[in-house]
Amino acid sequence: MPAIVDLSGIRFGRLIAVRLAARAGKHTFWNCSCDCGATSIARSNNLRRGHTKSCGCLDRELRAHWNEVRGAAAQEKRQAEAARALGRLKESNHD
Ligand SMILES: [Zn+2]
Protein backbone atom coordinates (compact mmCIF):
# COMPACT_ATOMS: atom_id res chain seq x y z
CA MET A 1 0.00 0.00 0.00
CA PRO A 2 1.53 3.32 -0.98
CA ALA A 3 1.47 6.01 1.63
CA ILE A 4 -1.29 8.58 1.36
CA VAL A 5 0.00 11.81 -0.10
CA ASP A 6 -1.30 14.68 1.97
CA LEU A 7 -2.90 17.13 -0.44
CA SER A 8 -4.71 19.23 2.14
CA GLY A 9 -4.38 22.92 1.48
CA ILE A 10 -3.02 22.40 -2.02
CA ARG A 11 -4.74 24.16 -4.90
CA PHE A 12 -5.56 22.34 -8.13
CA GLY A 13 -7.09 24.77 -10.59
CA ARG A 14 -10.19 26.07 -8.83
CA LEU A 15 -10.14 23.36 -6.19
CA ILE A 16 -8.37 23.34 -2.87
CA ALA A 17 -8.06 19.93 -1.24
CA VAL A 18 -9.55 20.16 2.24
CA ARG A 19 -9.36 16.71 3.77
CA LEU A 20 -9.21 13.08 2.87
CA ALA A 21 -12.71 11.86 2.03
CA ALA A 22 -12.19 8.18 1.34
CA ARG A 23 -9.73 5.59 0.33
CA ALA A 24 -10.60 2.84 -2.12
CA GLY A 25 -7.88 0.43 -3.13
CA LYS A 26 -4.94 2.44 -4.32
CA HIS A 27 -7.04 5.54 -4.87
CA THR A 28 -7.67 8.30 -2.39
CA PHE A 29 -10.49 10.79 -2.67
CA TRP A 30 -10.33 14.31 -1.36
CA ASN A 31 -12.97 16.70 -0.17
CA CYS A 32 -12.27 19.84 -2.12
CA SER A 33 -13.65 23.32 -1.95
CA CYS A 34 -14.09 25.13 -5.23
CA ASP A 35 -13.64 28.84 -5.96
CA CYS A 36 -17.34 29.00 -6.89
CA GLY A 37 -18.26 28.04 -3.33
CA ALA A 38 -19.27 24.46 -4.03
CA THR A 39 -17.57 21.42 -2.57
CA SER A 40 -16.78 18.25 -4.41
CA ILE A 41 -14.92 15.01 -4.01
CA ALA A 42 -12.08 14.34 -6.41
CA ARG A 43 -9.68 11.47 -6.86
CA SER A 44 -6.18 12.44 -5.86
CA ASN A 45 -4.47 11.25 -9.01
CA ASN A 46 -6.95 13.19 -11.15
CA LEU A 47 -6.13 16.29 -9.14
CA ARG A 48 -2.39 15.77 -9.35
CA ARG A 49 -2.48 15.07 -13.09
CA GLY A 50 -4.61 18.13 -13.71
CA HIS A 51 -7.63 16.16 -14.93
CA THR A 52 -9.86 17.62 -12.25
CA LYS A 53 -9.67 21.37 -11.88
CA SER A 54 -13.08 22.35 -10.57
CA CYS A 55 -16.27 21.02 -9.00
CA GLY A 56 -17.66 20.92 -12.54
CA CYS A 57 -18.37 24.64 -12.82
CA LEU A 58 -15.37 25.15 -15.11
CA ASP A 59 -16.65 22.47 -17.50
CA ARG A 60 -20.10 24.04 -17.45
CA GLU A 61 -18.67 27.48 -18.20
CA LEU A 62 -16.46 26.18 -20.99
CA ARG A 63 -19.34 24.27 -22.52
CA ALA A 64 -21.54 27.37 -22.38
CA HIS A 65 -18.72 29.37 -23.96
CA TRP A 66 -18.26 26.90 -26.82
CA ASN A 67 -22.00 26.71 -27.38
CA GLU A 68 -21.94 30.48 -27.75
CA VAL A 69 -18.99 30.33 -30.16
CA ARG A 70 -20.67 27.60 -32.19
CA GLY A 71 -23.96 29.50 -32.14
CA ALA A 72 -22.26 32.64 -33.48
CA ALA A 73 -20.45 30.64 -36.17
CA ALA A 74 -23.70 28.96 -37.22
CA GLN A 75 -25.41 32.33 -37.44
CA GLU A 76 -22.59 33.73 -39.57
CA LYS A 77 -22.85 30.72 -41.86
CA ARG A 78 -26.59 31.22 -42.21
CA GLN A 79 -26.08 34.89 -43.03
CA ALA A 80 -23.41 34.04 -45.60
CA GLU A 81 -25.71 31.47 -47.18
CA ALA A 82 -28.55 33.96 -47.25
CA ALA A 83 -26.26 36.53 -48.88
CA ARG A 84 -25.17 33.98 -51.50
CA ALA A 85 -28.78 33.02 -52.18
CA LEU A 86 -29.64 36.68 -52.57
CA GLY A 87 -26.65 37.09 -54.90
CA ARG A 88 -27.87 34.21 -57.07
CA LEU A 89 -31.34 35.69 -57.11
CA LYS A 90 -29.95 39.04 -58.30
CA GLU A 91 -27.86 37.34 -60.98
CA SER A 92 -30.85 35.41 -62.26
CA ASN A 93 -32.82 38.65 -62.46
CA HIS A 94 -30.33 39.97 -65.01
CA ASP A 95 -31.24 37.25 -67.51
ZN1 LIG B 1 -16.92 25.20 -8.83
Question: What tens digit of pLDDT does each residue of 27-86 get?
Answer: 999 999 999 999 999 999 999 999 999 999 999 999 999 999 999 999 999 999 999 999
Q: What is the pLDDT of residue 93?
A: 75
Residue 26 has pLDDT above 60, yes or no: yes
| Assessment of whether the complete model's pTM goes beyond 0.85 | no
- Please give the distance, rounded to the nearest whole angstrom, from the Cα atom of residue 22 to the centre of ligand 1: 20
| CA of residue 58 to ligand 1 center, whole Å | 6
Q: Rounded to the nearest whole angstrom, what is the distance from the C-alpha of residue 19 to the centroid of ligand 1?
A: 17
- The residue with greater pLDDT, 2 or 24, is 24
Q: 66 CA to middle of ligand 1, Å?
A: 18
15: CA distance to ligand 1 center in Å?
A: 8
Q: 39, 76 in Cβ contact below 8 A?
A: no
Distance (Å) from CA 21 to ligand 1 centroid: 18
